[in-house]
Every structure is written in C-alpha cells, then in structure tokens.
Structure 1
C-alpha cells in the first residue's frame, strides 16, 4: 500500500525515532502531525521534516494531558482533513533497581507511557471508526517481555508491557471495524537518549552485539503500515533479545 497522501500522527516527534519516521513519511508523500513537549525543538524539527511547511504540522505539549491529545487529533483534521495512522512513539525509559525508584519517577513514567497512549489513541480511534479505516502503531520495548539481569527496568515492564497487551486487545476489538493495531518492540536504539560513552555496554545487551539504528525501527513501522493483513502483531526489532537467554 502506498504511503502517499496518508495523514500520520506521531507522538514524540521532535527527535530520534519519531523525527526520522516523519522525515521518511514526508519523503514518500505523506502528511504528518508531530507532538513533543518542547515547542522550540518541535518547530525546528518541523522545518527539518518539511521546509515548505505544506506536509507537516505540530502541536506542542505533554501528550499525557487529554487536552493536548485532543488538540493533536484536531490539528490533523483541521489541517489535513483526516487521520489515517497514529504512531504512539512518545515514551520514557528509566532503568534502575526496583527499590531505587521514587514516587515521582513512577508517576512520570506511568503518565507518559500509559496516559500518553490512552487519550490520544481514544481520540484517534473515534475518528477512525467514523471512516471505517485506520492503523494504530505502538512503540513498546523488548525488555518489557525479555528481562535482562544487567539492565533492571521494571517500569518498562509495567508500562510498555501494558502497551503490548493493549495492542492485542485493541486489535481484536477493532479487527472487524477496519482498524489495525500493531506494535514495534525495539531493543536499545542509537538515539540522543543514550550517551555515546555507554554504547559499548548497551551493545552487549543484544545477542547480535550491537545497538539498533533508528532507520531499522522506521523500516519496521513502514512494513506494518503496508501489511494490510497484519493486526495484533508485536514486531521485535531487538537484535535477538526476545529470542531467549544468551
């Protein structure tokens, strides 16, 4: 299926995977609406994604806020007249021993990773149900399903693991309504989130012995976008992490 002409909402779109995805989608003729917390960074990303400002729009704000989520969907409808795909990319990873997490850290991760999925997905799904077509893609985390002793991360398991279950639940709920729901579960990807000085350690967390590249996640998302008979799938792009113990 061609990407050309589609309208795609991307949360966490000011950098990393979200920005790279938006750039590729616009190259292929799609229109995108990106979201992020920092307005200046978001505006700069939008200019990089499409200097003509005809295929990109943005809404700044915390996606866990239902009013921001509503504005994001409204911007897509106002600017580009419909919503074809939602990519729930915004997320926080905070790995540390379980008893070291603070109440504030718990609330922050839960807010972004769960509420940041819930509200915008509700609003997007409501519009998709009106047209009988759409696609929701959730970015989860391989470590949520395959714990790694060297990288304790129970909040990822709790929140991103919840998205994995929600992906399958919504896929079944919407399967006969023209809406597909899938997920990509990355390993550790080279983004600004991970300082270069720890890349060697992070590479060793994968059986393949390296970190993933942003474009490898973009390619996985594009595959799911084109795979009309695939729903409820969690596509692991993790260098073998999910295959088992190593």
Structure 2
C-alpha cells in the first residue's frame, strides 16, 4: 500500500500540531503550514521525521498559499491524499461592535482559506482519482451560547459546515470524501488567546465533565482519513456538549 500524503493548515501549534505528530507516527508523509514562520520552524524541528515532513509558511487567506501547499506535496511526495483545513482564528466580540474590516478577517482566513485551499487540493485529487478533505468547524454553529458573543467567527465557521456538505455532494462520484469536525472546548493555545486562563473550568459544558484534548481531534482525523465510506458529515467532537446538559 502506497504511503499517503496529508496537508495540514495551521499546524504549528495546538490541534494542527497534534494531527501532524499522529500522522507522522502512522508513517504518512506530512506537509505543515502556518502564517507564523518562527512557530512553524520550531514545530518542524520538534516533529522530526524530516524525510517525510515538509513545511510551507504562508497566510491561508491567500489562494496562492493553498496552491503552494499542493505543489509542495506533489513535488516532494507525489500526491495529495488528505487535506485538513485546520487554520483559523476565533475570538469573541459583541455583534454591535463588529465592523466590516473585523468581519472580513474571519471570512478571509476561516472561510476563504478553507474554500481556496480545498479548490487547489481537489484539482489534484481529481487527477489521482480519490482524496479526503477534513474541515474543522465548531459546535457553536449548531449550539449557540448567549454569554459568548462571537457572531463573526461563527458565521465563517457556519459557511465551512455548509461548504463541507456541498463539496461532498459535488465530488462524491469522483471518490473524494469531504467531512467536518465540530470540536467543543479543546485544550489549546486558542483558549489563552481568548483570555481563558483555566480552560478546565468550562468542563461542565460537556456531559463527560472534561474538556477535550488535541489528541482527541487528531484521532478522529486519522479515522476519517482512512475511511472510504464516510462523507458529507459534520461530526460533533464535544463530549456531549450539543446532546444535553447537566443540572447543577
């Protein structure tokens, strides 16, 4: 069985870094991306396995970055078998405080980045006759929290959920599978960036009474990458956050 190649955007920290590490452990070729060159270089050196690891620094909101990722994967390893659209930004801001420039940041990085990177990857996957795309959304698209105002990022992530299903429909006959993962609270640098100093204090939002780990997301990505019969799904990875709540 040929060694497969995965591209992971936003892979210098947190969820993306965990995905890269797990796929390297499972003998995949891996191409990692980040807009932060220093962080990406540090992660590249830390992950090792440089015979199976490549890196591309670039802003994912620019279509040229997605194209460069695909070209790097094909030049270095021969194929693009899996794309994980993980790169994104997320922060709270009240709806009435959002201006056009602020909204455009989320639409450009989150939605446009996922859209055009997928476009570049699908062009290559069509040549190969198969492929898998996994998009990272959020449970907040389907389960809003009144005390956490975040219309700008959630609108962009909602677009990603819709794009996931539409791409699965358009390219299913080409053996290209497209799925999404909607995480709950995951222990990652994103929490501290949003001013949450104790992420574990949010465990009560989940029925299992703990927050998720980056390894939880990585393991689901590994499953979806290997499945040939799951497509068009948005899978809640949220410890039961959407399913129900505790009383007291």
Counterpart selection for 2:50 from 32, 42, 53: 53
Gap runs ≥5 in structure 1: none
Contact 1:143 1:153 (C-alpha < 8 Å) held by counterparts? no
Classify the secondary structure of the residue corresponding to 1:64.
Answer: coil
Look up the match of 2:10: 12
Whole-angstrom distance in 1 between the partners of 2:147 and 2:239: 16
Q: Distance in 1 between matches of 2:20 and 2:100?
A: 34
- Maintained 8 Å contact 1:146/1:244: no
Q: Who is 1:198 aligned against?
A: 198
Judge which range, 196-205 or 9-18, deviates more.
Answer: 196-205
* Shift in Å, 1:182: 0.5
Cα shift readout 1:88-138 (whole Å, capped 9, x = no counterpart)? 000111122211224332121111101111111101000001111100000
CA contact (8 A) 2:207 2:244 kept: no
Q: CA deviation at 1:201?
A: 4.1
Task: Judge which range, 38-47 or 147-156, deviates more.
Answer: 147-156
Are the aligned partners of 2:6 and 2:28 in contact in 1 as well (CA < 8 Å)?
Answer: yes
Instruction: Provide runs of 4+ in structure 1 moved above 3 Å.
Output: none
Indicate which of 141, 166, 171 corresponds to 1:169. Answer: 166
Structure 1 position 33 matched with structure 2 position 31:
yes
SS at match of 2:205: coil
Superposition RMSD on alpha carbons, in Å? 1.6
Contact 1:12/1:91 (8 A) holds in 2: yes
Structure 2, unmatched stretches of 5+, are: none
Tell me the residue number matched to 1:223. 223
SS of structure 1 residue aligned to 2:230: coil
Q: Could you tell me which residue of structure 1 aligns to residue 207 of structure 2?
A: 207
Structure 1: how far apart are the matches of 2:43 and 2:54? 10
- 1:111 equivalent in alignment to 2:132: no
CA distance in 2, matches of 1:171, 1:181: 5
CA distance in structure 2 between the aligned counterparts of 1:108 and 1:157, rounded to whole angstroms? 12
TM normalised by structure 2 equals 0.93
1:157 CA displacement: 2.6
1:65 is aligned to 62
Distance change (3 Å), C-alpha of 1:245 and 1:203: closer
* Cα separation, 2, equivalents of 1:93 and 1:72: 23
Compare 89-98 and 16-25 and name the one that shifted more: 89-98
How many residues are paired up?
243
TM-superposed deviation, 1:198: 3.5
Are the structure 2 counterparts of residues 100 and 198 from structure 1 closer, same or farther at C-alpha, using a change threshold of 3 Å? farther
